[in-house]
Amino acid sequence: MKTKNLTLHVWRQDGPDAKGAFETYTAENVNEHMSFLEMLDDLNEKLIIEGKEPIAFDHDCREGICGSCNIVVNGYAHGPQERTTVCQLHMRHVFALGWSEIWLEPWRAAAFPVIKDLVVDRGALDRIIQSGGYISIRTGSARDANETPIPKPISDRAFDAATCIGCGACVAACPNASASLFTAAKVSHLGMLPQGQTERFDRVRKMVAQMDAEGFGSCTNHGECEKACPKGISIDFIAQMNRDFVKAMVTSKHDVEAPNDAE
């Protein structure tokens, strides 16, 4: 079993308006089988024993499904392992890269204010969902859904979009801090299914309006979002959202304003 000492430069910031800075720590005897977050747990225990403030970082499931663990590791949102959230990143992956010095930063985007250290407020993504990311007609029970014929390529593609866990890595990786990949995934998974057709064009107009109101940047096709996405969501969904958005604007009879107050 391999162990290693690592030098960590961690972004520390007391709150949204406080001035942040990197502080340097040594993580000692890091075991190759630890997850990245276990390595931080270990360091935090040491800091607490020394009477120091532990590093705040977000996490919940630690299984790659909740989207809470948001850390930029040496410049990579969610770390260097493709299609892997930072909670699923193991130290053996880090050792394999030969890294002994690691810089840890929060998601950096105007729409994601820092709450503390590595924790940011991703409420802007929730408000995009609240603006239209739902189906309000009665869709029946699970059995009714199973009895609705949907061509397999459509259901597979809708499912691909639905795997978005709302982590925001796409925003953190984008030079424009655009939330287009997230919004496109949410617009598309509902807009492709029969149950989502009634509100399809209102939905895309409202969600894009909310995305703009939250202060996210525009998509200029860098493709960094797709690369950083732990679920491998394709930027094709952005093109699909844009096509629906254009159709919605051409056929609309009234303007749509962002329904949720952006903070």
Q: Which of 25, 55, 57, 67 binds ligand FES (CB under 6 A)?
A: 67
Binding-site partner at residue 229 among ligand FES, ligand SF4, none, CB < 5 to 8 Å by type: ligand SF4
* DSSP designation for 87: G
Closer residue to ligand SF4 (CB): 25 or 244 = 244
| Stretch of residues binding ligand SF4 (CB under 6 A), selected from 128-136, 193-201, 204-212, 229-237 | 229-237
- SS3 category, 123: helix
Binding-site partner at residue 203 among ligand SF4, ligand FES, none, CB < 5 to 8 Å by type: none
| Amino acid identity at 104 | L
Q: Which of 8, 11, 34, 59 binds ligand FES (CB under 6 A)?
A: 59
| Stretch of residues binding ligand FES (CB under 6 A), selected from 58-66, 118-126, 141-149, 154-162 | 58-66
| Stretch of residues binding ligand FES (CB under 6 A), selected from 67-75, 91-99, 107-115, 217-225 | 67-75
Give yes or no for residue 87 binding ligand FES (CB under 6 A): yes
Q: Are 25 and 36 in contact (CB under 8 A)?
A: no
* CA distance to 17, 53, 227, per residue, from 56 (Å): 16, 9, 26
Rounded to the nearest 5°, which phi and psi values hold at 153? -60, -35
Q: Are 172 and 77 in contact (CB under 8 A)?
A: yes
Max CA separation in the chain (angstroms):
66
Q: Which of 233, 241, 256, 258 binds ligand SF4 (CB under 6 A)?
A: 233
Give me the 55-94 binding string for ligand SF4, x by CB under 6 A, dash otherwise: ------------x---------------------------
Neighbouring residues of 47: CB distance < 8 A, sequence distance ≥ 6: 25, 53, 54, 55
Give yes or no for residue 189 binding ligand SF4 (CB under 6 A): no
> Is the backbone of residue 113 left (phi > 0), alpha (psi -120 to 50) or beta?
beta
Structure tokens at 220: 């200029």
Interacting residues with ligand SF4 (CB under 6 A):
67, 164-170, 181-182, 185, 228-231, 233
